[in-house]
Amino acid sequence: MDSNKLYNALLKSQEREKAEHAQRDVEAPAEGHINGDETRLLEQYRRERPFAGTRRTTEQPNWTMVDGEAEQRAPSLYDSSVSLDLINNPRPWSMGEMRERKIIHPGMANKAILDAFREVRIKLRDRAGTENFSVMMSSLGKKEPSAITAFNLAATFAMDSQTSALLVDCNPYQSDLPHLVSSPMKYGVTDFVADKELQVKDILYPSGIDRLSVIPAGTQSTSAVELFSAVRMKDLMSELKGRYPDRYIVINAPPFQISTEARILVRYANQVVLGVPFGEVTPDDIMKYVETLGTEKFSGLIFQQ
């Protein structure tokens, strides 16, 4: 079949689908009910986004031509506008609460800090190209927790209305995440890896920031090295990254220079950013740890005050 005939055939197929869809809308039940196709769509999103709302969607999937042949690829159920709209935020932080917790947000008084995080976001995206990616955040200090920096980095990605972010906390020893998240949290990464009965939706929580979800570190701190090395951990990170093309993942790791866990977690990140606490690390120390990490994934430093 030549390209013109194929194009016309696809147009007719789309018109037929639209007509059938319009007929289904006429015959649809009262508002608040969802038909079978929409239910399956929502269930797919909610396997990982359990706090999603129940907004009804009528968007049509796109049809694509496969290698010039007269066949159609199965319509994709993924639609970023639908997916992003389904990320609910039941307990959003107020501006005062974000200011108290040092969470960056549009309109904050210290615009220089906000712009600095935006610049980091730009550089990470430029390095990655068009693909979504995962970035690991770790500190070069011995005690300095990186949770607030990782959270703000994830919040910066979530500020873009066309993308979402997921913060995966992998520091089971020291974390301020419960202080930064507006919803109570129970299970986390280490619990998921240790317990095969847990599902992804059991460890995902809304953060208090629009389009930003979080996964806490979990309660299994004594065996974190083995759990982070497990096949189930690898499968979890692959699934989290691959499920939504509009999502950027930030991994919060323990301090790089004193933890084996941080070196293990590098394997799950496309890029690595290291925090440098003021006055704790010399330039020679920085060079040593960057050489240990390797230049392939190292993307830059964030100086922490």
Selected residue with higher pLDDT from 154 and 66: 154
Q: Which of the residue ranges 51-55, 192-196, 206-210 would you say has the lowest mean pLDDT? A: 51-55
- Tell me the percentage of the chain whose pLDDT exceeds 90: 50
CB atoms within 10 A of CB 113: 14
pLDDT at 23: 56
Q: Are residues 48 and 188 in the same domain?
A: no
Rounded CA separation 118/98 (Å): 17
Q: By C-alpha distance, which of 200, 303, 295 is closest to 247?
A: 200
Of 35, 56, 85, the last residue of a domain is 85
Average pLDDT over residues 10-38: 52
Q: Do 130 and 207 reside in the same domain of the chain? A: yes
Domain membership of residue 44 (yes or no) is yes
Average pLDDT over residues 108-133: 93
What is the pLDDT confidence band of residue 83, given thresholds at 50, 70 and 90?
Answer: low
pLDDT bin (cut points 50, 70, 90) of residue 285 is confident
Domains: count for the chain: 2
Band the pLDDT of 42: cuts 50, 70, 90.
low
Please report the pLDDT score of residue 231 as a whole number: 96
Query: What distance in Å separates the CA atoms of residue 221 and residue 265, rounded to the nearest whole number?
Result: 15
279 and 207 together in one domain: yes
Beta bridge partner(s), residue 137: 252, 273
Q: Is the pLDDT of residue 202 over 50?
A: yes
Query: What is the rounded average pLDDT of the residues 143-171?
Result: 91
HSE value, Cβ hemisphere, 13 Å, CA-based, for 187: 14
Q: Return left, alpha or beta for 141; rule: phi > 0 is left, psi -120 to 50 is alpha, else beta.
A: beta
Return d(Cα 251, Cα 269) in angstroms, integer: 8
Domain boundary among the residues 43, 66, 85 is at 85
Same domain? 31 vs 159: no
Beta bridge partners of 298: 272
The answer to whether residue 283 is domain-embedded is: yes
If asked whether residues 110 and 79 sit together in one domain, one would say no
Confidence of residue 145 (pLDDT cuts 50, 70, 90): low
Higher local confidence (pLDDT), 79 or 148: 148
**Helix 147-158 with 111-128: angle, nearest 10 deg:** 70
User: Do both 244 and 266 map to the same domain?
Assistant: yes
Task: Say yes or no: 60 and 104 in one domain.
Answer: no
pLDDT digits (tens, 9 = 90+) for 243-255: 888 899 999 999 9
Residues 159 and 299 in one domain: yes
pLDDT of residue 213 exceeding 60, the answer is: yes
Across 211-221, average pLDDT: 94
CA atoms within 13 A on the CB side of 291: 6
Residue 32 lies in a domain: yes
Backbone angles phi, psi at 68, to 5 degrees: 75, 5
Q: Classify residue 184: in a domain, yes or no.
A: yes
**CATH number of domain containing 166:** 3.40.50.300
| Domain end point (choices 52, 85, 118) | 85
**Average pLDDT across the chain, whole number:** 79
Radius of gyration of the chain, Cα coordinates, nearest whole angstrom: 22
- Residue 64 sits in the same domain as residue 125: no
- Give the per-residue pLDDT at 93: 94
Most confidently predicted of 38-42, 62-66, 70-74, 139-143 = 139-143
How much is the pLDDT for 290?
87
The answer to whether residues 66 and 118 belong to one domain is no
Q: Determine contact, residues 213/166, Cβ cutoff 8 Å.
A: yes
* Structural domain that includes position 255: 95-304
90 within a domain of the structure (yes/no): no
Mean pLDDT over 14-18 rounds to 58
Residues 152 and 188 in one domain: yes
What is the model's pTM? 0.74
The CA-based angle 38-45-152, given to 5 degrees, is: 145
Q: Is residue 284 part of a domain?
A: yes
Residues 18, 108 share a domain: no
**Cα-Cα-Cα-Cα dihedral sign, residues 289, 293, 298, 304:** negative
